[in-house]
Structure 1
Amino acid sequence: MDEEGIRKRSSNQEPDETPIKKNKSMNLQKEVGLLSGICVIVGTVIGSGIFVSPKSVLANVGAVGPCLVIWAACGVLATLVTITLVNALSVKWASYVQNFFAAAKMVIVIIIIVSGIVLLAQGNTKNFNNSFDGPPLSVGTISLAFYNGLWAYDGWNQLNYITEELKDPYRNLPLSIVIGIPLVTVCYVLINISYFTVMTSTELLQSPAVAVTFGDRVLYPASWIVPLFVAFSTIGAANGTCFTAGRLAYVAGREGHMLKVLSYISIKRLTPAPAIIFYGAVAIIYIIPGDINTLINYFSFAVWIFYGLTVLGLIVMRFTRKDLERPIRVPLIIPILVLLVSIVLVLAPIITAPELPYLYCVLFIISGLVFYVLFIHFKFSWAQKISKPITMHLQMLMEVVPPEDVPE
């Protein structure tokens, strides 16, 4: 069945077969408000990172003081299959899941912070003596520390990907970020302070899971709640990322930068199902190595390449495309600073501690460029012969159509 046949089928369905009403726009719907926007920011940022990364940050800087500075600085700089299924089925379901897990993860965050405050009030401050005494710092070690810190903060940009589904985006987008990121930054710094009230630097470095060690020492016999809520936190972050990053592939397909099928929308669910499923498949590939530290370092290396390229494009277009409408305009100094930070974070680890996996990461990125050139840019006839039947079968399998008005 071709695309036209699927459209006709969708328009001739009985009322009980689909929730789409007559003349309803076959586009993503604006169902994300300010509260959900803040939950996307907080729920996507707070994942497994704050419960794992403190060890790696401390390992690179070597002392409590610089460690806390790194966590605060990361916050300033920031200003896997069930999840895919939920996001592919319903925007509202994904939003409800996100709100629930955002609330659940704040429970463990509050427990850790309050426990730390109580311990500090009881005089447990010895681990903060001589906080800045440690090994000499270098640009490379600081960059690697930022890699691990920024891993825990990653997600600060995710709300940008769902502006089409955000109510009053010109107000709620910046407001969600302005509220969400400082909230996360305060929580992260206080959580790290709580960790150091019960663990020395050496003990924290020897801990296989910092939050679990904290729970064993402070919350016993209720320490079992820590791994439970860490799991909640990780699921919530994965759901938020799937919800937002899937929209990135959707828009790329719509704009002709990726295969067109990625821009198709489910007839029954009004979700970008192909894009979300594509994102889930890529995520599964990324977790194959299974080493969290390797994943953090090389994910951060790759993502800061693209952050740098993105703001570079913004800077260039500020001068070459002055006529473009800019509903949300930022001072030029901000993208310039982000570009400089990106250059340092990408180059410093390679220069100070070059490793072969960095090359693998670059080759993985280039492989996507090769795919783009063959199937998208030049549209070679043999490539189209491969992609067209795949697109048709995927369309029929997932019951998706291009984004447009449903015919009467």
Structure 2
Amino acid sequence: MEDGYTEKATHGSMHRTRTATILSAISARFWRKNSSTVILSRRLGLGSTVSLLLGIMIGTGIFISPRGVLAYSGSFGASLIVWFLCGVIATIGSLIFSELALMFPKSGGDHTYLHETYGNVLAFLHGWGALLVLKPMSLAISSIVMGEYIFYPYFSDTLCYRDDTMVRLHAATFIIFLMLVHGSGLKLISKLQVIFTGLNVFTLLLIILNGMINISLGYTHYLNVSSSFEGTNKNVFSFGMAFFSGMFAYEGWNTLTYTMEEMKEPAKTLPRAIMIAMPTITVLYVLVNVSYYTVLSPEDVLDAEALATSFSRHTTRSTSLLQSLLPFLVCCAAFGSANGICYTYSRMAVALGREGHMPQIIGMVNPDTMSPNFSLFLMGFISIMTLLLPVSLEHMIEFFSFAIWLSYFLISISVLILRYTRPDFHRPFKVHWILPILMAAASLFFIVASFFAAFGPLELLIVSMVIVAGLIVYVPFLYYKYQPPFMDKITIWVQLFLFIVNTEYKPPENFPIYDDGSENDSNM
């Protein structure tokens, strides 16, 4: 069936293609009168791509991770080295992912590379965990940080206790607002991302400027080289956890791989955007951490609920306007970070639904806005449910980091595997073989460190439950291709209610198309 209108010979076949017929009819009648398919349009140039990466990475992490990096490294000097090396690791990872993204220029990102390398089971388990646990948890983390920077600077003075409930209520409101924004379409998201990227960079430059002024005025007691390494932790696994915290601030370095179906000239744009954005972010992060310690002691950093706010309050030249403005700017950074999480989630959902690894409605988009409305609703719902869990922000970060680095380890190895199994694939960009090995070694070290330094029975139980639940779903619905009889009715009803249709993949111009003969496992 090419356009959704071809009738099949048997009643059973007609029943299975009814969903495709409805979605094509909706698309042709209401939005695409001259076409029965919807294709993600290429709107992202170099400027938009760099802005997207900067806006996503400069998010909540730089305002919460310094506490974890310091706690596990033990000293300011050691933490500064960790911050720099985290930038190097993120840059290496971005370049490795660029090779894979240009081999398979689809929106699926991590899921696509795992599927092409390891097959259906591992790819499905990754997509299952990412869509139902990791991405919603990441959004919940960003929203909690936003809630803290709204609640504590502006409202907590009237309270004599830490009201975590109010923080999470603010976070839930933020998630709902974000879902509404993303449902409005890529154009609005791109414009907002440019604005918030500018605000994010301005926020870091404002902190750095104040830090440089502090240094010029002699506020260098905590920056003293002779004492900056005092108390450095000698436990190698604790340093692994310090990298865990630092890499969380750099999280989002692989975001551009999810934009491959919407990027103009990806073979040129992707590597250039990475080489512009990654060094910029690394320098900014290191200088921001130096600025923090011009007026904050290590004890102040460890005790700070809202680090940027504590910095502004300890800076003697700070006006009341600056102290009021800085938390708002941090909230803008949280929006940029959360925006990237929603974007990558939606693009992964499109790939999973289109390839049959999830129900079709997961990957369907509104033809006008190109927004996968159902998957956004699902993400918002799960994220709000995550806020109800009695789990600290630090534990959320540790669990998220463990799971995400497990996938990074497998993907780093996949670069070498694909060079052996598919040597003739078109590779517009190719990294030296030593980089995937270094990335895999770093990933494995982070994973092992988390087991010895942070993971307990509860975290292991959660990981096991997610994997087992995924296998329970995979066996009947994908391996045996069982489709519940009511699924068509649900799909059609959701399509009509949310105005969503399937998308069709269109490779970039001048890219060869490889056909390995594989087909979707299931339409579920």
Q: Which is worse superposed, 95-104 or 282-291?
A: 282-291
Structure 1 counterpart of 2:361, one-letter code: V
Could you tell me how far 1:132 is from its partner in structure 2? 1.1
Shift, 1:343, TM fit: 0.9
CA deviations on 1:38-80 (whole Å, 9 max, x unpaired) are 1111111111111111111111111110010111111111103
Mapped to 1, the partners of 2:376 and 2:434 lie a distance apart of: 34
- Name the structure 2 match of 1:99: 194
The yes-or-no answer on 1:310 pairing with 2:411 is yes
Which residue is equivalent to 2:87? 75
List gaps (5 residues or longer) in structure 2: 1-17, 92-174, 506-524
Match of 2:66 in 1: 54
- Give the distance between the partners of 1:351 and 1:256, measured in 2 at CA: 38
Is 2:138 the partner of 1:121?
A: no
Conserved 8 A contact 1:94-1:243:
no
Match status 1:326 vs 2:427: yes
Residue 248 of structure 2 is matched in structure 1 by: 151
Q: Report the residue type matching 1:402 in the other structure.
A: N
Q: Which of 65, 75, 85 is matched with 2:180 structurally?
A: 85
Within 1, Cα distance between the matches of 2:356 and 2:200? Answer: 38
The residue type paired with residue 300 of structure 1 is S
Partner deviation per Cα, 1:306-326 (whole Å, 9 max, x = no partner): 111122222222212223222
Once residues 353 and 242 of structure 1 are traced to their aligned partners in structure 2, the CA distance between those partners, rounded to angstroms, is 28
Change (3 A) 1:285 1:33: farther
Give the share of equivalent positions with the same residue, in percent: 33
For residue 319 of structure 2, the aligned residue among 216, 220, 229 is: 220
Contact 1:49 1:151 in 2 (8 A): yes
The counterpart of 1:301, out of the listed 382, 399, 402, is 402
Once residues 353 and 25 of structure 1 are traced to their aligned partners in structure 2, the CA distance between those partners, rounded to angstroms, is 48
Moved more, 365-374 or 214-223: 365-374
2:345 aligned to which of 226, 245, 249 = 245
Deviation of the 1:273 alpha carbon: 2.9
1:263 paired to 2:360: no
Distance 1:174 1:50 in 2: 24
**Aligned AA for 1:226?**
L
The answer for the alignment partner of 1:335 in structure 2 is: 436
CA distances 1:155-203 after superposition (whole Å, capped 9, x unpaired): 0001100111011111111111111111111111000000000011122
Residue pair 1:87, 1:94 contacting (<8 A) in 2 also: yes
| CA RMSD in angstroms, aligned pairs only | 2.1
Deviates more, 1:294-303 or 1:244-253: 244-253
**Do the aligned residues in 2 keep the contact of 1:28 with 1:271 (CA within 8 Å)?**
no
Equivalent AA in structure 2 for residue 372 of structure 1: Y
Q: Which residue of 2 aligns with 1:160?
A: 257
| Corresponding residue of 1:377 | 479
In the alignment, what sits opposite 2:97? none
> Counterparts of 1:382-397 in structure 2 under 5 Å?
383-397=483-497
- Asked if the contact 2:25/2:36 (under 8 Å) is kept, the reply is no
Amino acid at match of 1:191: V
Structure 1 pair 377–388 and aligned structure 2 pair: CA distance change class (3 A): farther
Amino acid at match of 1:396: L
Q: Which runs of 4+ in 1 moved over 6 A?
A: none
Aligned partner letter, 1:82 = F
Please say which of residues 389-398 and 209-218 is displaced more in the overlay. Answer: 389-398
Are 2:190 and 1:190 equivalent residues in the alignment?
no
CA distance in 2, matches of 1:65, 1:209: 22
Query: Once the two structures are superposed, what CA deviation does each residue of 1:274-307 show, in whole Å capped at 9, x if it has no partner?
Result: 3433443443344443521111111101100111
Which amino acid in structure 1 is aligned with residue 328 of structure 2? L
Q: CA deviation at 1:230?
A: 0.8
Q: Deviations over 1:325-361 (max 9, x none)?
A: 2233222211111111111111122134541232134
Corresponding letter in the other structure for 1:46: I
Residue 252 of structure 1 aligns with an amino acid whose one-letter code is: L
Deviation at 1:397, TM superposition (A): 1.6
- TM-score of the two chains, using structure 1 as the length reference: 0.91
Q: 2:114 maps to what in 1?
A: none
| Distance in 2 of aligned mates of 1:197 and 1:258 | 50
Equivalent residues of 2:27, 2:37 under 8 A apart:
no
8 A Cα contact 2:365 2:372, kept in partner: yes
Deviations 1:238-276 (A, max 9, x none): 012211231012112222222222232213323333343
SS in 2 for 1:224: helix
Distance between the aligned counterparts of 2:362 and 2:52, measured in 1?
A: 23
1:37-48 alignment, distance < 5 Å: 37-48=49-60
Work out the CA distance in 1 between the residues paired with 2:448 and 2:237.
Answer: 9
Q: Call closer, same or farther: CA 1:21–1:185 in 2, change over 3 Å.
A: farther
Using a 3 Å threshold, how does the CA distance of structure 1 residues 8 and 210 change in structure 2: closer, same or farther? Answer: closer
Instruction: Report how many aligned residue pairs link the two structures.
Output: 398
Q: Which residue of 2 aligns with 1:348?
A: 449
After the TM superposition, which of the residue ranges 104-113 and 78-87 deviates more from structure 2? 78-87
Does the Cα contact within 8 Å between 2:27 and 2:367 map onto a contact in 1? yes
Change (3 A) 1:229 1:254: same
- Contact 2:19 2:488 survives alignment (8 Å): no
Unaligned runs of 5+ in 1: none
Contact 1:158 1:245 in 2 (8 A): no
